[in-house]
Amino acid sequence: MKEKLFRVSVSTISTISTTVIVSSVSIGSQSGAPCTSYTTINDPTRNVANTGTYGTCDRGPVFNASNDGSWIQFVGTGGTTIPMTPPGVSHCGGYLSGWFNGTLPNAVGTVVNGTVCFDSDPSFCLIAVIVSVANCGGFYVYLLPPVAVCNARYCTT
């Protein structure tokens, strides 16, 4: 009787957990007063606590390259304001993490200019863009231009 040899391979089956992140953008009119005509972004991946780079950048139609920017209100669990301190690299879905280097307006209806810096090793402000911020009484809206380079994103907190 002939012996038959069987090779048995054992493979490990691992369970992969998938997290679904729901982001939304509601594009509003960009004409008129900033507190009544803005686009909302609900994107949890923009939060500074979110580490990692997803190859995304804020150059798309939401940031309206045709007229140098759009009024944006950040909403939801990702955060509602741009952070006021450098978050470090590889946060909020981009390698260059955007933070507001300025003073937010105190009075409702007031608009101020400031700078958003994009953090990179070793510089806290490798790239800087001029932005405007409006106090809309309970929330802020930001006039944000499209970013100059990919893998740069406006962060939220």
The yes-or-no verdict on residue 26 having pLDDT over 80 is no
What are the start-end ranges of the H helices in the chain?
none
Instruction: Work out the number of other CB atoms within 10 angstroms of the CB of residue 84.
Output: 13
Instruction: Please report which confidence band the pLDDT of residue 43 belongs to, taking 50, 70 and 90 as the band edges.
Output: very high
Q: Is residue 110 part of a domain?
A: yes
**Model pLDDT, residue 20:** 46
Number of H helices, E strands in the chain: 0, 8
Of the candidates 49, 41, 145, the one whose C-alpha atom is nearest the C-alpha of residue 92 is 49
What pLDDT does 14 receive?
39
Q: What confidence tens digit (pLDDT) does each residue in 114-136 have? A: 999 998 888 889 899 999 999 99
Helix (H, G, I), strand (E, B) or coil at 66: helix
- The verdict on residue 36 lying in a domain is yes
Residue type, 9: S
Domain count, the chain: 1
Q: Specify if 5 maps to a domain.
A: no
Structural domain that includes position 32: 24-154
Give yes or no for residue 138 having a pLDDT over 80.
yes
In a domain, 62, yes or no: yes
Q: Is residue 17 part of a domain?
A: no
What is the band of 32 on the pLDDT scale with cuts at 50, 70, 90?
low
Q: Is the pLDDT of residue 35 over 70?
A: yes
* 76 found inside a domain: yes
The reply to whether 132 falls in a domain is: yes
Average pLDDT over residues 142-151: 92
pLDDT in tens, 61-117: 888 777 779 999 999 999 999 999 999 999 999 999 999 999 999 999 999 999 999
Please indicate, yes or no, if residue 15 is contained in any of the structural domains. no
